[in-house]
Structure 1
Amino acid sequence: MVVIETTLGTGPWPLTKPGPIERVLVRLLSATIPAANPDFDPLFENVRMWWVEIDPAGVPQRELGFDEQGQIIVAAPLGDNFGFFTDSNMTFSPNEHPTVLNASFESAWAEFESHWAERSRA
């Protein structure tokens, strides 16, 4: 596996403010369709950088999202969260992005997952 770094899909969001019709539609859809990332959806707009683990075909397997301070604020797939890139049909070419050491990704993933498990039990 290769881990890439990217700023694709980063905030600030939304680029335009939703109007009254859009807000009503979002509320209706949110009430009837389960969220793909119930714990992280509100945090995606704060992501400024991603580390994405990809397989040999470039398909995202796991992802970590970092905020402006370099703190991991989202990870997926994790718990009931499918992810931003991991729940898409997007593929990446590793030669188009900076790469991250696998050991750095694994360490960051393990630390976030550990804190996540503690928070989930509380």
Structure 2
Amino acid sequence: MRSIHVSRVITATPEAVYSYASDPSNLPKWASELAQSDVVLDGDTLLVDSPMGHVRVRFVPRNDFGVLDHGVILPSGDVVTNPFRVVAHPEGSEVVFTVRQLELTDDEFDRDAATVRADLDTLAAALKDEPGDEPGR
């Protein structure tokens, strides 16, 4: 099983990135691989329509460390754990998402990594116009 870390520098503070990325209502705006429609909250679980079907998502509790790890419970009941971090960067923030091959073919893994890259680019674009996103603030 291979893993790669897909990262993207975002010219917004870690706090602004974390706040935006951790808000379930924003997921359909930037996380195409995870959410294709509005997210429904069910306690600490998100109910999401995704390209994988109807899935349940559980993020780690809100924290001051920029950790956005989450488990995706697939329709089969299998759980895919996704490490995801927001860290400080001299230009603002860097987001780092670990993509794991698991049972994917090499082509599927490459497509998954490309989708994550595109989603992180969309996240960066969404944060360009957010107030208070200047580095160092």
Give the structure-2-normalised TM-score. 0.29
Identify, as 1 or 2, the structure richer in helix: 1
Higher relative contact order (CA 8 A, sep 6+): 2
Larger gyration radius, structure 1 or structure 2: 1
